[in-house]
Amino acid sequence: MKQIGLLFVIIWMCSCAQEGKNSTIRAAEIPVPAEKKPEADLSKLKIKAEEALNFCASNNLNKDFCILIDMSLHSGVNRFFVWDFKNNKVSKKYLVGHGCGSNAWSKDDSKANPGFSNEDGSHLSSLGKYKLEGRGYSDWGINIKYLMHGLEDTNSNALKRFIVFHSWNMMSDSEVFPNGSPEGWGCPTISNNAMKEIDPMIQKSGKPVLMWIFN
């Protein structure tokens, strides 16, 4: 009887061990849901574009196109949009970087929740409407920059802070989500190839171009 009882104990222990192993395997096989890639809200862009066109008409800015940057989007997806006023649609879209603030420069620590400031030394991007006027030499990217004249209280210190529009070698030509774009000290930065497409458009513009950064 003792031998039979011992046999039952051994069988029971083996059964429990196998069940635990199976549970571990089943748990490991459960897929981790992938983070859903956010996308631009076209209806939101159209509303912004309509307001932008009225603003351009009232302020003697280019009425062929403008640049809309939706900072509410993750920095690893396209959120820099060239809006074609004549055809009422997005004609080009790219990644764009934002300011790192107190985080590490060139990393993507605030890829999903950037901060914004108009304060000098904040290393943050500023929201608001800008007039792109004044093409010059940049130490970054393809060595082209455009001065950003802040037109609102939220970005009035842009020139003082040396916030300019330029390209950066670290910026990707295509979306990198779930990673984010590298963060600088507040300038909106795009890839070199993107700047090669945008620069001729701005140069040919007879009037300053509106860049609107919003959240």
Q: What is the tens place of the pLDDT at every residue in 75-126?
A: 999 999 999 999 999 999 999 999 999 999 999 999 999 999 999 999 999 9
Token pair for residue 109? Answer: 């620590």
Helix residue ranges per DSSP H, the chain: 2-29, 42-58, 192-204
Q: What is the tens place of the pLDDT at every residue in 4-63?
A: 444 444 444 545 555 555 544 454 456 656 789 999 999 999 999 999 999 999 999 999
Q: How far from the centroid of its chain's Cα atoms is residue 21's Cα?
A: 44
pLDDT at residue 35, as a whole number: 82
Cα-based distances in Å from 153 to 114, 126, 127, 150, 178: 19, 10, 9, 8, 33
**199: DSSP letter:** H
Of 13 and 163, the one with more pLDDT:
163
Sign of CA dihedral 97, 101, 103, 105: positive
User: Which amino acid belongs to residue 72?
Assistant: S
On whether the CB atoms of residues 214 and 48 are closer than 8 A, the answer is yes
pLDDT at residue 122, as a whole number: 98
pLDDT at residue 57, as a whole number: 98
pLDDT at residue 20, as a whole number: 52
Q: List, in order, residues 6 or more apart from 163 with CB less than 8 Å away.
A: 125, 126, 148, 150, 155, 157, 186, 187
Q: Among candidates 104, 121, 115, 118, which has minimal Cα distance to 183?
A: 104
Whether residue 191 is predicted with pLDDT greater than 80 in this model: the reply is yes
pLDDT at residue 18, as a whole number: 58
Grade residue 1 by pLDDT with cuts at 50, 70 and 90.
Answer: very low
Per-residue pLDDT, averaged over 150-175, amounts to 98
Cα-based distances in Å from 32 to 28, 29, 112: 10, 9, 20
